């Protein structure tokens, strides 16, 4: 299917997809994903972060087949119910996308994929469901685990890690300028009583890092804890290395990110594995890049339209980057 045909199809179906997913998780960049992945009857795709099934549904509506992964069993059950009409053209596996190759093996899939999509980050449902512990605006247990295989919760981290470790987490994963001050306040407070709820932690952070704008002062810390709890950046790096091994020549690999830490990892990986030539000062001349895997299709990320952002404010920071696997090994 040509790019233009896919783009037109995506625009025609996006309202249907969004309507079905709205009560769970509103997918972002739906028509753009359809355009770049070029779904068609018989093609096989991996949706490594199935969530509410919005992107998977978009691919399935073209006649393609989909393997839908999610580490959150609640999300996967929802996805199964939403996509039940597509029968055996969609298969579901409870798994983190870092284990994509093992997930395919577990269901007996041996053929190479026509494309893969990762929509990184937390879903709208996880953010809005107080019981999951992701929201700093709703009272809930201080959890943040995206799946049952994850042992350590956010409460475990804030109640046991040293002030130095906490400050490092807040600075590295949240880019929090008051990381040391916040970490010290947490360690001091937990000496009298451990943290158990989201609002308790958010309130303590607010006492030492007052609000200076519309953003809650605990926003960066909550992001950092979520990333640490779920090893999100480690999982992303493993997926970037593993997923190309299960792509067919000419297959496309698309990744949607929502903050600079994720986007930087994807941008650098795609760039380093798309360059035809590499050069170093000590070399007499440039050499062919032995690690080249892709053609880079997006020199700059694809971002949501103003209309999409107005309809779904959580889409405002989304960035889509895409590569195409080389048809022949790099020489």
Helix (H) or strand (E) holding 103: helix 100-106
Residue 49: its pLDDT value, please?
93
Superfamily of domain 126-230: Putative methyltransferase TM0872, insert domain (1.10.150.170)
pLDDT greater than 70 at residue 130: no
Count CB neighbours of 285 within 10 A.
6
User: What band does 1 get if pLDDT is binned at 50, 70 and 90?
Assistant: very low
User: What band does 210 get if pLDDT is binned at 50, 70 and 90?
Assistant: confident
- The CATH class, in words, for 3-119+233-325 is alpha beta
Q: At 92, is the secondary structure helix, strand, or coil? A: strand
Cα 280 from Cα 275, distance rounded (Å): 14
User: What band does 280 get if pLDDT is binned at 50, 70 and 90?
Assistant: confident
Domain boundaries defined on the chain: 3-119+233-325, 126-230
- Mean pLDDT on 276-288: 91
CA distances for 142 relative to 133, 171, 180, 208, 216, angstroms:
5, 20, 21, 20, 17
Residue 5: its pLDDT value, please?
42
Interhelix angle 219-230/232-242, nearest 10 degrees: 50
- Written as six digits, the tokens of 11 are 């625009």
Residue 133: its pLDDT value, please?
54
pLDDT tens profile 229-244: 999 999 999 999 999 9
CB 86 within 8 A of CB 53: no
- Mean pLDDT on 292-305: 96
Q: Where is pLDDT greater, at 201 or 121?
A: 201
CB 246 within 8 A of CB 103: no
Q: Which of 7, 25, 49, 67 is nearest to 254 (CA)?
A: 49
Residue 25: its pLDDT value, please?
60
Strands laid side by side in the 90-94 sheet:
90-94, 65-70, 44-47, 113-119, 247-257, 319-325, 294-296
Q: At 64, is the secondary structure helix, strand, or coil? A: coil
Residue 2: its pLDDT value, please?
41
- Mean pLDDT on 138-160: 92
């Amino acid at each position: 299917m040509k790019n233009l045909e896919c783009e037109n199809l995506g625009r025609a179906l996006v309202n249907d997809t969004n309507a079905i997913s709205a009560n769970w998780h509103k997918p972002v960049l739906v028509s753009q994903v359809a355009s770049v992945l070029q779904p068609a009857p018989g093609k096989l795709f991996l949706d490594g972060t199935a969530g509410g099934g919005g992107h998977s549904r978009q691919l399935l509506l073209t006649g393609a087949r989909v393997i839908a992964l999610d580490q959150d069993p609640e999300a996967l059950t929802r996805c199964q119910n939403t996509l039940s009409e597509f029968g055996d053209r969609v298969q579901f596996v409870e798994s983190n996308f870092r284990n994509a190759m093992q997930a395919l093996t577990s269901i007996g899939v041996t053929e190479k994929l026509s494309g893969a999509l990762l929509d990184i980050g937390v879903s709208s449902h996880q953010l809005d469901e107080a019981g999951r512990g992701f929201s700093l605006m709703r009272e809930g247990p201080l959890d943040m685990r995206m799946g049952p295989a994850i042992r350590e919760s956010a409460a475990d981290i804030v109640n046991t890690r040293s002030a130095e470790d906490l400050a490092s987490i807040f600075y590295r994963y949240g880019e929090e300028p008051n990381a040391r001050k916040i970490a010290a306040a947490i360690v001091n407070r937990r000496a009298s009583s451990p943290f158990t709820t989201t609002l308790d932690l958010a309130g303590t952070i607010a006492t030492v890092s007052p609000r200076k704008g519309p953003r809650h002062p605990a926003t960066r810390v909550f992001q950092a804890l979520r990333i640490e709890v779920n090893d999100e950046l480690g999982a992303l790096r493993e997926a970037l290395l593993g997923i190309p091994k299960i792509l067919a020549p000419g297959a496309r690999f698309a990744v949607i990110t929502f903050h600079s830490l994720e986007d930087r990892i994807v941008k650098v990986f795609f760039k380093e594995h798309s360059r035809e030539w590499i050069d170093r000062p000590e070399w007499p001349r440039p050499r062919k890049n032995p690690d080249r895997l892709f053609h880079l299709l997006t020199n700059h990320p694809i971002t949501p339209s103003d209309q999409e952002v107005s309809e779904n404010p959580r889409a405002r920071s989304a960035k889509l980057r895409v590569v195409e696997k080389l048809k022949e090994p790099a020489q």
